[in-house]
Amino acid sequence: MVKSLKRGPELYSGKAKTIYLTEDDHFLIMHYRDDATAFNAQKKESFSRKGLVNNYFNAYIMGKLQEAGISTHFEQLLSDHESLVKRLNMIPLECVVRNVATGSLVKRLGVQEGLSLEPPILEFFLKDDSLGDPAVNDSHIHTFKWATDEQVAQMKRISLEVNELLKPLFLNAGMILIDYKLEFGLFGDSLMLGDEFTPDGCRIWDAVTFKKMDKDRFRQDLGNLIETYEEVAERLGIKIPNATSLCDS
């Protein structure tokens, strides 16, 4: 059932989404814009359909996770660019799970690009643009009280559960889930997955050709960003409308 909550004032505008209050304190509206940014917003561009594709993509993945019993803030799609979510008190950390070595892991540790990581590596980063989201460990999180030890254990457990669910989902569609970033928050006392899961915040490679099918296409000027996001969606069976099907308010 569609919750009929009206969009209220803007709460926050991030790099690719704008968050609005609603009449109900417990819910927010996430508006996926057409903007893409990289390198801490030093590189910026707008791509037609990006917001729409990411909105539907995220709804599909969050739905799959919820079906499997993982709590997320996602409530429902409201329109092509908007979704209703629970209002979480966000934990200021990014949890990154890596199945294959690439990106900052290769730069920081000098390991071989493309190395298969078994078991997967889980890393925490502090969400702080002014510091460039530095890597932090359990000891930093404990001492600086960014999360309790129990919350850290929960975030690790859920992050790896997400991997067990999504890795085969992508592989069955001919793609490798290389790595991804998750963010968590509290709804009352309940810790749950927040933010988004889209090709903006994960790496996906074609399983045969290793073609990059994620935001690295933008970061590395590889072209066809949205066409490739749509190809990922199509392979997963995600239905994305061609024209505006639901009315954006």
Residues forming a β-bridge with 46: 35
CB of 192 to ligand 5GP, least distance (A): 19
Range in contact with ligand 5GP (rule: CB under 6 A) among 72-80, 141-149, 178-186, 230-238: 178-186
Nearest to 34 by CA among 216, 222, 225, 243: 225
Binding ligand 5GP (rule: CB under 6 A), the pick from 35, 75, 200, 230 is 200
- What ranges in 83-224 are assigned the alpha helix state H? 103-109, 138-143, 149-171, 216-219
At residue 169's C-alpha, the angle toward residues 165 and 173, to 5°, is 170
87 lines the binding site for ligand 5GP (CB under 6 A): no
Residues 196, 58: contact at Cβ < 8 Å?
yes
State which residue, 105 or 158, has the beta carbon closest to ligand 5GP.
Answer: 105
Which residue, 63 or 103, has its beta carbon nearer to ligand 5GP? 103
Looking at the Cβ atoms of 133 and 231, the one nearer to ligand 5GP is 133
The CA angle 40-45-48, to the nearest 5 degrees, is: 135
Q: How many residues make contact with ligand 5GP (CB under 6 A)?
A: 14
103 touching ligand 5GP, by CB under 6 A: yes
Q: How far is the CB of 82 from ligand 5GP (least distance, A)?
A: 19
| Beta-carbon count within 10 A of 55 CB | 25
Nearest residue (beta carbon) to ligand 5GP: 103
CA distance 162 to 170: 12
Q: Are strands 93-100 and 175-182 parallel, antiparallel or unpaired?
A: antiparallel
Q: Which of 51, 120, 185, 201 binds ligand 5GP (CB under 6 A)?
A: 201
Contacts of 100 (CB under 8 A, 6+ apart): 114, 115, 116, 117, 176, 178, 179, 203, 205
The only residue of 71, 76, 79, 104 in contact with ligand 5GP, by rule CB under 6 A: 104
Q: What is the token pair recorded at 77?
A: 């799609």
By CB under 6 A, residue 50 contacts ligand 5GP: no
**Is residue 180 a contact residue for ligand 5GP (CB under 6 A)?**
yes
CB of 162 to ligand 5GP, least distance (A): 13
Neighbours of 247 (CB within 10 A): 8
Taking CB under 6 A as the criterion, the residue among 17, 81, 215, 217 binding ligand 5GP is 215
**Closest CB 46 distance from ligand 5GP, rounded Å:** 16
Pair of tokens at residue 244 = 């505006």
- Looking at the Cβ atoms of 204 and 240, the one nearer to ligand 5GP is 204
Q: What are phi and psi of 220, to 5 degrees?
A: -105, 15
175 binds ligand 5GP (CB under 6 A): no
Residues found near ligand 5GP in the complex (CB under 6 A)? 94, 96, 103-105, 133, 179-181, 200-203, 215
